[in-house]
Amino acid sequence: MVTATHIDAQVLLVSALASGQGKTSVTAALARKLSRQGKRVRVFKCGPDFIDPMLLERASGAPVYTLDLWMVGLDQCRSQLAQAAAVADVILIEGVMGLYDGAPSSADLAREFGVPVMAVIDASAMAQTAGALALGLRDYGPVEMAGVIANRVASAGHANMVAASLRDIPLFATLPRQSRSLPERHLGLVLPDEVGGIDEMLDQLAEQLAFDDAAWSRLRTTRIEIPPAPEKQPVEEASPALAGKTIAIARDAAFMFLYPANLDTLRSLGATLRYFSPLADEPVPSDADAIYLPGGYPELHAQALSQAASWQASIRAAHADGIPIVAECGGMMALASTLTDQSGACWPMTGLLPGAVTMQARLAGLGSQGWTGAHGILRGHTFHYSRLETAVAPVAHTVKHPSGAEGEALYQTGSLTASYFHAYFPSNPAAVAALFLGTART
């Protein structure tokens, strides 16, 4: 029996010259349009991000995973692409920032896997100059340029001028300027569930995305290598590190920054996952062996969290009982003594990490980082607009990638491990298991 070593799939990396060009709207429109045509669509997001994937999941109807050559790693990126190619007719990858921004960049990912690039250009304030931008994006790397999607186009005549300027690059599609855009806040787009009529907006984007069927039919496929199957482990091998453990995970409008891959990793380690809502004043489940408080928007719900007596009492009791608690960014903010929101109102929090969190207008942390402990490096990133003032001394710091400079502080008080650092669990499952077993002392 011959085992397949590759899959040929239709894959596109949707990128642009900068943020704000409409990559997410265009990718969502393309995913929704293709899905409505009966195609099986899988979407990935390049680089660390929680919010864009939520919208892309809504548009495509399937979970959106992360591709990043450093945080996720080459082998896991290849594995995820192969898994998607096995079940999808089309794979879309939304790039991060501009095509060549970051180390590694979206262009690096496209070249690594031989994926053609679809460039989104905001044509609202230009016409023929679009050609110069497209040629520059193609040739600077270079990358293989499949075509251009012109966003915020004013008319058919405007589209014709853009198309004529592209020379040998096809104008793949156009999208008109929208009367209603997806709202944003300090960490990015507003969450899909907070936008009234979000599905109608996505349907409208799909209907207004006019693309060239002939150009689509000429798109080449990409050969995705299938990683070899892992060797079978001996039957007598020990159980997974978190077998028999129940992990309680905060999940609501205040705590929703969760990578699907993180949840997959916890399950693969043997854990049973239980969700609860601090915003609804639900206590920590009584059978929890560990607690995970992910990031989110606690600053938008500070008053409700401050008045959630059952939640506060239960997390304090869990901490007093020595139950391991892992708190990331927004999760850590909710465990400080106080949280001052954007309006300047100061709200009491649980106080497990003595200190004051204050929202600020200026970005306080951004970028890829890694934390090295006893089990090696756990990779991830940071993105926050608040600062923490505390007398608690950090037990360690992350390291920024690629500069090597000192990154976010890591705090441990009793059974609590807390940081602004968002960890990507598949990068080091052994380190993750130690965190939730309470053995990751530094």
Does domain 246-437 fall under CATH 3.40.50.300? My reply is no
Sorting pLDDT into bands at 50, 70 and 90, what band is 1? very low
If you average pLDDT over residues 124-153, what whole number do you get? Answer: 96
If you average pLDDT over residues 158-176, what whole number do you get? Answer: 96
Query: Which of 275, 284, 283 has the alpha carbon at shortest distance from 252?
Result: 275
What percent of the chain stands above pLDDT 70? 93
If you average pLDDT over residues 86-103, what whole number do you get? Answer: 96
With helix as H, strand as E and coil as C, how does the chain read? CCCCCEEEEEEEEEEECCCCCCHHHHHHHHHHHHHHCCCCEEEEEECCCCHHHHHHHHHHCCCCEEECCCCCCHHHHHHHHHHHHCCCCEEEEECCCCCCCCCCCHHHHHHHHCCCEEEEEECCCCCCHHHHHHHHHHHHCCCCEEEEEEEEECCHHHHHHHHHHCCCCCEEEEEECCCCCCCEECCEECCHHHCCCHHHHHHHHHHHCEECHHHHHCCCCEEEECCCCCCCCCCCCCCCCCCCCEEEEECECCECECCHHHHHHHHHCCCEEEEECCCCCCCCCCCCCEEEECECCHHHHHHHHHCCHHHHHHHHHHHHCCCCEEEECHHHHCCEEEEECCCCCEEECCCCEEEEEEECCCCCEEEEEEEEECCEEEEEEEEECEEEECCCCCCEEEEECCCCCEEEEEEEECCEEEECCEECHHHCHHHHHHHHHCCCCC
If you average pLDDT over residues 175-181, what whole number do you get? Answer: 78
Tell me which amino acid residue 197 is.
G
**For residue 11, is pLDDT > 90?**
yes
Tokens of 303: 């008053």
If you average pLDDT over residues 255-284, what whole number do you get? Answer: 97
| Model confidence, pTM | 0.93
If you average pLDDT over residues 94-104, what whole number do you get? Answer: 96
Residues present in the chain in total: 442
Active-site position among 46, 77, 329, 346: 329
User: 412-436: per-residue pLDDT in tens?
Assistant: 999 999 999 999 999 999 999 999 9
Query: Which of 246, 240, 236, 316 has the alpha carbon at shortest distance from 276?
Result: 246
Q: In the chain, what are the domain boundaries?
A: 6-225, 246-437
**For residue 233, is pLDDT > 70?**
no
Contact 240, 268 (CB under 8 A): yes
What percent of the chain stands above pLDDT 90? 86
Q: What are residue 376's DSSP bridge partners?
A: 373
Give me the pLDDT at residue 228, please. 81
**Mean pLDDT of all residues belonging to the chain:** 93
Contact 54, 148 (CB under 8 A): no
Sorting pLDDT into bands at 50, 70 and 90, what band is 293? very high
Tokens of 244: 């028999």
Does the fold of domain 246-437 match that of domain 6-225? Answer: yes
Give me the pLDDT at residue 6, please. 86
Q: Tell me, yes or no, if 329 is annotated catalytic.
A: yes
If you average pLDDT over residues 281-308, what whole number do you get? Answer: 97
**For residue 27, is pLDDT > 60?**
yes
Of 3.40.50.740, 3.40.33.10, 3.40.50.300, 3.30.980.20, the CATH number of 6-225 is: 3.40.50.300
User: 355-398: per-residue pLDDT in tens?
Assistant: 999 999 999 999 999 999 999 999 999 999 999 999 999 999 99
Give the side-chain half-sphere CA count within 13 A for 227: 14
**For residue 411, is pLDDT > 90?**
yes
Give me the pLDDT at residue 109, please. 98
User: 330-356: per-residue pLDDT in tens?
Assistant: 999 999 999 999 999 999 999 999 999
Give me the pLDDT at residue 180, please. 60
If you average pLDDT over residues 238-260, what whole number do you get? Answer: 94
d(CA 423, CA 48): 10
Tokens of 375: 């089990």
Contact 106, 99 (CB under 8 A): yes
Residues 255-288 as b/e (b if ≥16 CB within 10 A, e otherwise) read bbbbbebbbebbeebebbebbbebbebbbbbeeb
Tell me which amino acid residue 368 is.
S
